[in-house]
């Protein structure tokens, strides 16, 4: 197959929160930018059937999984398709990574929260200044994404009975909580409630994407703004296979595929400025492959380190019926950061479409401070990375003890309720790290030893986002490093 040759001023690999922010800021600085995204576009249809759901007849289909007949999120054998989620089986953890124009913003719980000053410093040490982040970059990230807490009329509706029930239980237990900022369009949620849009969030059907269009995913916000400048081209179904230095820049090798994964064309594109925003898995995988192949042999030894998984999953039952299958995304943010004797705990209520009928349930997903004990290694036989996570390490199991303490206080204050399960997640969608900021890169995200090569995504985090879901922190860190790399890119043109 003939290889097609191209050139570009700047190439961004990945189109999630970080990649979209990089593309927008580069375009605003007058830099023509090409965004390569391995996944397809997912335009929300008027019929409300863009994404597969748990409620589809027969269960989810191939749209749930990236080029694989299986997924840890369903027991069904799937048709092979360029779906929204890739899973990577590791030692102690199965990692989930998004695929599609918009990346993780397509299907996350849309929770936008920043950690306290103490938890931020525990996560980042001296690498990032908390006052700078909270004064400039977190607010900028919120503005770019567009987020707000649940409005009173929505919260008071029948669809959000479980959220109100949870809030009442927390009040009785004296555990702090707040209504968290969410990256959703509340007018679309109201349309779901009125029956003029397909029931998605209010039916708890957001695991593989939101068919109503309520999700403020970046393909329709930040990236759309970037494309509107006329300086950004997004190429979906473009799978980057290798990167290597060439001249004063780099060459990116990528394949154009169809929606079944068949390679249609091969490309080499030369650029003076390569920005990696493919996420924890994608970016770390590309750099470790390049180091193993001898293309980037001088990458720091810390590559692949400081990986963490902060995800905790719980369910409680034994309470009055509270409509647990509806009312999403997560609207109640538990901040048990001061009184827990083991570790700070953050919990978010979320709907559970499979909750047994006739019973009251509260399901939560959340985070504890995650020790950066995980690591990636390159496996030459697989030509891929392998993730190791010490699930039995006492520093990890302490997270489960912390969560159990929070739940026990809830149960004590709410007689009759009991814990159905509580565990540190072994299927992780909030895994961060691998290319730690200030170690593998400098403070601009510039990879040490290689001119014109930058990293801007969740792989920069030091294994934790400070006991909160990582989306807002990923966007804020991206906004900061991009503000520093853009002048360097402009000077280099």
Place of tokens 């929300």: 44
Half-sphere exposure (CA, 13 Å, Cβ side) for 443?
A: 8
Q: Considering the domain boundaries, does residue 328 fall inside one?
A: no
Q: Whole-angstrom Cα distance, residue 330 to residue 491?
A: 43
Of the candidates 452, 425, 429, 427, the residue with the CA atom closest to the CA atom of residue 441: 452
pLDDT at site 109: 84
> In sequence order, what E strands does 224-280 have?
232-235, 238-246, 249-257, 263-271, 274-276
> Along the chain (493 residues), what's the average pLDDT of each consecutive run of 10 residues?
93 98 98 98 96 93 97 94 96 94 92 95 93 98 97 96 96 97 97 97 94 97 98 98 96 98 98 98 98 98 94 90 89 96 94 84 88 95 95 88 95 96 75 97 95 98 94 97 96 83
pLDDT at site 283: 98
Query: DSSP string of 454-478?
Result: EE-SGGGS-S-SSSS-SHHHHHHHH
pLDDT at site 387: 96
Q: Considering the domain boundaries, does residue 348 fall inside one?
A: no
Kindly state the tokens that stand for 380: 């030459």
**With a threshold of 0.85, does the pTM exceed it?**
yes
pLDDT at site 426: 64
Q: Whole-angstrom Cα distance, residue 103 to residue 14?
A: 7
Q: Considering the domain boundaries, does residue 197 fall inside one?
A: no
pLDDT digits (tens, 9 = 90+) for 207-250: 999 999 999 999 999 999 999 999 999 999 999 999 999 999 99
Q: Whole-angstrom Cα distance, residue 232 to residue 35?
A: 7
Q: Considering the domain boundaries, does residue 252 fall inside one?
A: yes
pLDDT at site 6: 92
pLDDT at site 492: 82
pLDDT at site 265: 98
Q: Considering the domain boundaries, does residue 387 fall inside one?
A: no
pLDDT at site 353: 83
- DSSP code, position 296: S
How many domains does the chain contain in total? 1
Q: Whole-angstrom Cα distance, residue 183 to residue 186?
A: 9
Kindly state the tokens that stand for 414: 């709410």
Q: Considering the domain boundaries, does residue 125 fall inside one?
A: yes
Nearest-5° Cα angle at 347, 346 to 348: 130
pLDDT at site 422: 83
Residue 269, domain CATH? 3.50.50.60
Task: Name the helix (H) or strand (E) containing 86.
Answer: strand 85-89
Nearest-5° Cα angle at 453, 448 to 458: 85
Domain extent at residue 250: 1-42+84-146+216-303+427-493
pLDDT digits (tens, 9 = 90+) for 376-433: 999 999 999 999 999 889 988 888 899 999 999 999 999 999 999 887 766 667 899 9
Q: Whole-angstrom Cα distance, residue 40 to residue 391?
A: 34
Secondary structure of residue 421 in the 3-state scheme: strand
pLDDT at site 37: 98
- DSSP code, position 16: S
Q: Considering the domain boundaries, does residue 366 fall inside one?
A: no
Residue 216's contacts (CB-CB under 8 Å, 6 or more residues apart) are 105, 110, 145, 146, 147, 183, 184, 185
CA 106 to chain centre: 9
Q: Considering the domain boundaries, does residue 318 fall inside one?
A: no
């Amino acid at each position: 197959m003939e290889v097609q040759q191209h050139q570009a001023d700047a190439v961004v690999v990945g189109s999630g929160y970080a990649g979209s922010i990089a593309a927008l800021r580069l375009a605003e600085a007058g830099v023509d930018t090409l965004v390569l995204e391995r996944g397809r576009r997912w335009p929300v249809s008027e019929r409300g059937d863009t994404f597969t759901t748990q409620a589809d007849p027969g269960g989810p289909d191939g749209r749930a999984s990236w080029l694989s007949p299986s997924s840890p999120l369903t027991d069904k054998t799937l048709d092979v398709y360029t779906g929204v989620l890739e899973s990577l089986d590791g030692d102690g953890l199965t990692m989930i990574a998004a695929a599609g124009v918009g990346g993780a913003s397509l299907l996350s719980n849309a929770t936008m929260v920043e950690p306290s000053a103490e938890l931020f410093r525990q996560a980042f040490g001296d690498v990032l200044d908390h006052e700078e982040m909270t004064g400039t970059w977190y607010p900028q990230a919120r503005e770019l994404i567009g987020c707000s807490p649940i409005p009173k009329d929505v919260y008071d509706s029948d669809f959000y009975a479980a959220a109100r029930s949870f809030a009442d239980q927390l009040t009785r237990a004296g555990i702090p909580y707040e209504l968290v900022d969410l990256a959703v369009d509340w007018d679309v949620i109201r349309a779901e409630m009125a029956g003029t849009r397909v029931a998605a969030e209010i039916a708890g059907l957001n695991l593989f994407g939101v068919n109503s269009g309520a999700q403020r995913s970046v393909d329709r916000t930040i990236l759309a703004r970037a494309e509107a400048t006329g300086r950004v081209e997004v190429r979906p179904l473009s799978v980057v296979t290798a990167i290597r230095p060439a001249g004063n820049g780099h060459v990116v090798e990528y394949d154009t595929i169809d929606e079944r994964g068949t390679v249609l064309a091969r490309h080499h594109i030369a650029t003076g400025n390569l920005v990696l925003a493919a996420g924890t898995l994608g970016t770390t995988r590309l750099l470790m492959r390049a180091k193993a192949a001898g293309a980037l042999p001088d990458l720091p030894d810390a590559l692949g380190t400081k990986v963490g998984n902060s995800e905790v999953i719980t369910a409680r039952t034994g309470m009055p019926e509270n409509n647990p299958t509806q009312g999403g995304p997560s609207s109640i943010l538990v901040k048990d950061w001061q009184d827990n004797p083991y570790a700070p705990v953050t919990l978010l209520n979320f709907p559970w479409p499979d909750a047994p009928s006739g019973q009251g349930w509260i399901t939560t997903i959340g985070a504890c401070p995650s020790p950066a004990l995980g690591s990636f290694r390159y496996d030459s036989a697989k030509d891929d990375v392998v993730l190791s996570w010490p699930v039995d390490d006492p520093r990890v199991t302490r997270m489960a003890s912390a969560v159990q303490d929070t739940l026990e206080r809830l149960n004590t204050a709410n007689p009759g309720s009991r814990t159905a399960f509580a565990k540190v997640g072994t299927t992780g969608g909030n895994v961060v790290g691998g290319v730690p900021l200030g170690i593998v890169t400098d403070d601009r995200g510039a990879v040490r030893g290689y001119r014109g090569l930058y990293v801007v995504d969740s792989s920069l985090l030091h294994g934790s986002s400070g006991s909160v879901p990582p989306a807002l922190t990923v966007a804020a860190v991206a906004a900061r490093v991009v503000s520093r790399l853009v002048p360097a890119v402009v000077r280099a043109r």
